[in-house]
């Protein structure tokens, strides 16, 4: 079984102790980490790369500027355990985001679309595709709680879990 930790919308100006503790507590047991954008600073990207020993897949969000835009793609498609996963930040209003994302990955055979942008956790299926948004582990502007996501993949089977971040 492969465990993929999923985070998005960290919106951090620097890596602080709270974030380090969160990563250690909730993501240490993961084989890979996906970040669906809005790091805000390169320091956060570099910290996560180091923590995951390069088992990090990440995309650029709408709040990522400068160096982050030059080193991160807007989208990524990868495959684990025979399951294709599309990774993107997302854009526009929350209403209708699923349709925009389906159009973006149309014809690429993805079974899961991991996205961020809305800060609202989501784990549901539409038109045969799993939509998975981990929410934000650090920002509560658009959600009452901080969350991360865990995807478990084994022999073509997928399980997604949204985990509330405590402390």
Element (H, E) at 12: none
Say if residue 61's pLDDT is above 90. Answer: yes
Say if residue 95's pLDDT is above 90. Answer: yes
> How is residue 155 written in tokens?
């022999």
Mean pLDDT, to the nearest integer, of 62-78?
96
Q: In what order do the strands lie in the sheet with 56-58?
A: 56-58, 32-35, 2-7, 147-154, 157-164
**pTM of the predicted model as reported, rounded to 2 decimal places:** 0.96
Question: Which residues lie closer than 8 Å to 145 by C-beta, 6 or more apart?
Answer: 135, 164, 165
Structural domains of the chain ordered from first start:
2-164 (3.60.21.10)
> In the structure, what pLDDT confidence band is assigned to residue 55 with cuts at 50, 70 and 90?
very high
Q: Over the stretch 104-140, which tens digit does the pLDDT of each residue have?
A: 999 999 999 999 999 999 999 999 999 999 999 998 8
pLDDT mean across residues, the chain: 96
Provide the pLDDT for residue 141: 80
> How is residue 162 written in tokens?
């949204």
Element (H, E) at 4: strand 2-7
Q: Are 132 and 110 in contact (CB under 8 A)?
A: no
24-30 contact pairs (CB < 8 A, 24+): 25/167, 26/137, 26/148, 26/163, 26/165, 27/51, 27/52, 27/148, 29/3, 30/3, 30/4, 30/5, 30/150
């Amino acid at each position: 079984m492969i465990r993929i930790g999923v985070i998005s919308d960290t919106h951090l100006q620097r890596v602080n102790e709270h974030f380090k503790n969160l990563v250690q507590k909730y993501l240490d047991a993961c084989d890979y980490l996906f970040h669906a954008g809005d790091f805000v600073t390169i320091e956060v990207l570099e910290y996560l790369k180091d923590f995951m020993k390069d088992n990090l897949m990440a995309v650029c969000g709408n709040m990522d500027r400068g160096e982050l835009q030059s080193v991160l793609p807007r989208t990524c498609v990868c495959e684990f355990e025979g399951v294709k996963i599309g990774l993107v930040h997302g854009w526009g209003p929350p209403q209708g985001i699923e349709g925009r994302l389906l159009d973006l990955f149309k014809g690429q055979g993805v079974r899961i679309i991991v996205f961020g942008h809305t800060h609202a956790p989501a784990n549901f299926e539409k038109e045969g595709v799993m939509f998975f948004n981990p929410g934000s582990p650090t920002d509560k502007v658009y959600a009452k709680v901080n969350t991360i996501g865990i995807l478990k993949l084994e022999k073509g089977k997928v399980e997604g879990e949204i985990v509330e971040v405590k402390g």
